[in-house]
Chains A and B, each alone.
Chain A
Amino acid sequence: MSHIYLDHAATTPLHESVQEQMTSVMQNHFGNPSSIHFFGRDSRKLLDQARTTIAKSINAPFTSLIFTSGGTEANNLAIFGSAYANEQYGRHIITTQIEHHAVLHPCERLESEGFDVTYLPVDETGQVDLNQLKEALRDDTILVTIMSVNNEVGVIQPIQEIGELLEEHQAVFHTDAVQAYGVQQIDVQEMKVDLLTASSHKIYGPKGVGFLYKHEKHHLKQQVFGGEQERKWRSGTENTLAIAGFEQAVKVLMEERESRNTHYQALFNELIAQLEKQEMEFSINGDLNNRVSNIVNISFPKTEVEMFLTNLDLAGIAVSSGSACTAGSIDPSHVLKAMYGEEDERLYNSIRFSFGIHNTLDEMKQVAEKIQPIVERLKSLS
């Protein structure tokens, strides 16, 4: 059976040129970048190159990147690091109800430590309301963390407007840009963000590496202690191999981002057209006019998501929904819950499709054709 992968928001395969680059690094460079000898300098050179390329990709200075083990660690460092560093100015944090768990769970943890956290609601389209943010801001607000692009529905948040709004406020502004980096041009100066998270494996780079951009005027409380790496913001021998792979993925991304977006949009259009052709009942969750090209979340009335996903996998189609809960079962999406309320049936019948560079228009046709009988069967059972 052929398998069709439509879960690129979960992770992407390694780009071919990344595989080549990493193979070469694996074979030729092993030194510890902190060592003072030839082997150390050799690796340090790779690391500096990568830092230069990646910093440039977000219009940030060379010294502003902190490499981490990925998006989750970068988010943890941003949230715990800035909360603990700024405690003397207040203990209030603002975030949204639709953040990734790598943001929500650190916030909940801080709440249990006595911090006060406001979880901003979103409207039916998944948008944060700037006026509500203004109202929530207080003199003791020390951190605002709002994602650039939602990972489940692909809705874009007005990061630059929020950045401008916060310019005159003491609060540090962090954005989780893990889903945005691969499809949006990121310019930390223009966006006026103080902290920004990105991850390698969402952009055809290796797993296990990401970064936190940190504006030089801000301080963080170190979270991982040890050596002097990453200017002491994150101790531990640098993962040179993965960072070099990350760099290569970024190089290709900078060249291809536009054409990828065109491709993703064509895939999206084709999938919707093919689903319509199959005369299926469905609706798109989120905002058609304010979404990224590679993520679409679709509700299929009268289906049940757990059974739907299993059926799709058995038919060779890899998609996802909500977030995995304990023991492989699925929790209703907290994102859809924030958009539609607790009771809405879309919480229980929605599927996320996320496109990638290797997907073809013909695959969209195959997907629609395979979904049709499954939806029919599930509707007959409901």
Chain B
Amino acid sequence: MEDRSNIRVVVGMSGGVDSSVTALLLKQQGYDVVGIFMKNWDDTDEFGVCTATQDYEDVARVCNQLDIPYYSVNFESKYWDKVFQYFLDEYKAGRTPNPDVMCNKEIKFKAFLDHAVGLGADYLATGHYAQVREKDGQVEMLRGVDDNKDQTYFLNQISKDILPKIMFPLGGLAKREVREIAEEHDLATASKKDSTGICFIGERNFKEFLSEYLPAQPGEMQTLSGEVKGRHDGLMYYTIGQRQGLGIGGSGDPWFVVGKNLTDNVLYVEQGFHHEALYSDELLAVDVNWLVDRDLTQPLKCTAKFRYRQKDSGVTVHVNEDGTANVIFDEPQRAITPGQAVVFYEGDVCLGGGTIDEVYREQQPLSHLG
């Protein structure tokens, strides 16, 4: 085997099974592996119990099993400024933010990468389901082979320049295989439940969590034609296309959130999954980040995802002079949500992505989206 003992790989370890197996695979491949736990959030409760402490204990157990050194780094204040503040600001603006995208952009693949470089790392590795591949002297990011777990959607904002320093050892594996490897090696985290939801909220009630930080302003639920259908608990608790929790009775098709009016604090609802107010054919993306070198003066035909785990749809991307992009859909799309990411693909290559800012139908902005 090639001697890799002089190649230092810093692994971002969360205490979960994915990053545990990431470290294991790299160790097996002979790298000088260093495990680092990122402490981004403090949820210490009244009894002094903190999720991070428990997760760090798991990191310690796994690293001791693998006989690799492990450390911790505290990004709490940076996370608060760069991710949590953005998260609150977006909700305040009536949009649905994606903190995981921001965390990858600002923390894991920026602050943490800097930290790894400071530790003399040649590479940074994480347990994301994505792949990096060198092709014609360029490093590209590809989808993970496990279609159901592919996480490139959340990675669309990382800088192209850092791809040569990144390793995603799980990209070629299915989640099931990762669990099997963990069990085979009896890793302490082999049967640990996957974390769900947004990391700083964890298993807690989302509504309750948000209300601790943003004042909820209850208001009216109306149809687009102005018919009052009830009350809402605060616009931030709802997202476009949502059906649950509206509490509108009566006959006929179920009711869905189709938009928000921030000025008047009105939540728009309409009847039917396929209500036309939910459909659009174009969006404006801002903060567009490209992971490939392309001629962007010409319209780009590719596919796109508008939410995590959605199937790709055909689009044409027109990049504007200011770097924003108009994305025109081959087929009308349902429930495109401002604040979420739009991510572009060509085959398995992730081209980049941006943040959905405006949504259009027949070139008219859908003003009811807020």
Contacts and interface: CB of A to CB of B under 8 A. Distances in A.
Interface string A311-345: 10110000000000111111000000000000000
A326 B73 CA distance: 11
Contacts of B118: 304, 307, 311, 377-378, 381
Interface in B59-73: 60, 69-73
B100 to A, nearest CB: 20
A2 to B, nearest CB: 15
Contacts of A329: 39, 72-74
A327 B34 contact: no
B52 A327 contact: yes
A295 B20 CA distance: 38
Interface in B113-133: 114-115, 117-120
A363 interface: no
Nearest to B15: A327
Number of chain B interface residues as a range: 20 to 34
B44 interface: yes
A328 B71 contact: yes
A326 B52 CA distance: 8
Contacts of B53: 326-327
Contacts of A237: none
Given A314-B34, A381-B114, A328 B119 contact: no
A304 B115 CA distance: 10
Say whether chain A's binding surface is mostly helix, strand, loop, or mixed. helix
A116 interface: no
Interface in B292-350: none
A381 B119 CA distance: 11
Interface residues of A, number: 17
Nearest to B56: A327
A310 interface: yes
A311 B114 CA distance: 13
A304 B39 CA distance: 16
B37 A328 contact: yes
Contacts of A304: 118
A351 to B, nearest CB: 15
B53 to A, nearest CB: 5
Nearest to A373: B120
A313 B37 contact: no
A330 B36 CA distance: 14
A377 B115 CA distance: 11
B119 A310 contact: yes
A111 interface: no
Contacts of B72: 306, 327-329
Nearest to B50: A326
A307 B50 contact: no
A328 B34 CA distance: 15
A80 to B, nearest CB: 19
Contacts of A327: 37, 39, 50, 52-53, 55-56, 72
A310 B50 contact: no
B276 interface: no
Nearest to A303: B118
Nearest to B42: A326
A329 B55 CA distance: 13
Contacts of A326: 39, 42, 44, 50, 52-53, 56
Contact of B71 (A310, A377, A378): A310
Interface in B67-122: 69-74, 114-115, 117-120
A309 B118 CA distance: 11
Contact of B69 (A307, A313, A377, A381): A313
Nearest to B59: A328
Nearest to A308: B118
21 contacts: A306-B71, A307-B119, A310-B119, A311-B118, A311-B119, A314-B34, A314-B69, A314-B119, A314-B120, A325-B74, A326-B50, A326-B53, A327-B37, A327-B53, A327-B55, A328-B37, A328-B56, A328-B72, A377-B120, A381-B114, A381-B117
Question: A-B pairs with the 9 shortest C-beta distances?
Answer: A328-B72, A329-B74, A327-B56, A327-B52, A329-B72, A307-B118, A310-B71, A327-B39, A329-B39
Interface of A: 304, 306-307, 309-311, 313-314, 325-330, 377-378, 381
